[in-house]
Amino acid sequence: MSGQPEVSGAVRILPAGVRLTVHTGETIVDAVRRHGYRTRYCCRRGGCRACKADLVEGEVGYPVPIAESVLSAEERAAGKCLPCRAQPVGEVVIRLSEKDTLTRVFGTFRPAS
């Protein structure tokens, strides 16, 4: 056993086209941060809706339920997701909102071995 987190999927973020690996149990926002990027988010709990994005391809899960007032069934059916809480099921593609950009802020974070 290597002690390294298991990669469970990947997310491609549009319009930048950047593809990032996602570890088991990791949200999209956590994966973005681990890879040294930043997107628009505030609370990281799914309450503020600042990170709302379009789920273009694939499926995401929410291990902790999201309130209907934050992301309605209609919005989910229309392909909206909350990257701060969403965990990809395999490979997914999301499109950031027009107010959002993917910004490189640091090198890739690598935990100490």
**Residues 96 and 39: beta-carbon distance below 8 Å:** yes
In the chain, the amino acid numbered 93 is V
Please tell me which residue, 3 or 64, carries the higher pLDDT value. 64
Separation between Cα atoms, residue 64 and residue 85, nearest integer Å: 8
Which pLDDT score is estimated for 26?
95
Separation between Cα atoms, residue 33 and residue 106, nearest integer Å: 9
State the fold for domain 7-103: Ubiquitin-like (UB roll) (3.10.20)
Listed by start position, the domains of the chain span 7-103
Query: What rounded mean pLDDT belongs to the chain?
Result: 88
When pLDDT is cut at 50, 70 and 90, the band that residue 12 belongs to is very high
What is the C-alpha R_g of the chain? 14
Please tell me which residue, 110 or 45, carries the higher pLDDT value. 45
Segment 39-57 shows an average pLDDT of 84
The burial class, CB within 10 Å (0-12 / 13-18 / 19+), for 101 is middle
When pLDDT is cut at 50, 70 and 90, the band that residue 61 belongs to is very high
Task: For the chain, count helices (H), then strands (E).
Answer: 2, 7
Segment 74-98 shows an average pLDDT of 95
